[in-house]
Amino acid sequence: MANTPQSKKRARQNETRFAINKARRSRIRTFLRKVEEAIASGDKEVAIAALRAAQPELMRGVTKGVLHKNTASRKLSRLSSRVKALG
């Protein structure tokens, strides 16, 4: 348990940051799931549109510190190659 005023404040800040980061991760996963569903359905146009929508969302996660840069790049690369293979 936090004892000093500083540690109490840090605990409050950590809770707030955790909630914000959790929401961001959830939002990113939703965008990725939409791409996955479009790929599964086999509709290339919808998959391309979903991938274009997911790309800035993933990179925003990188700038906000939710994801590592290489992780986001890897996910984008793998998804785009799968969308490309649909044709």
Going by pLDDT thresholds of 50, 70 and 90, the confidence category of residue 1 is confident
Provide the token pair at 14.
């950590």
Helix/strand/coil for 1: coil
Distance of CA 7 to the CA centre of its chain: 30
Decide if pLDDT at 11 tops 90. yes
Non-local (6+) Cβ contacts of 49 within 8 A are 38
What CATH architecture applies to the domain 5-84? Answer: Up-down Bundle (1.20)
What is the pTM (predicted TM-score) of this model? Answer: 0.87
Decide if pLDDT at 29 tops 90. yes
DSSP string, 26-53: HHHHHHHHHHHHHHHHT-HHHHHHHHHH
Cα separations (Å) of 6 from 2, 15, 22?
9, 14, 24
Decide if pLDDT at 66 tops 80. yes
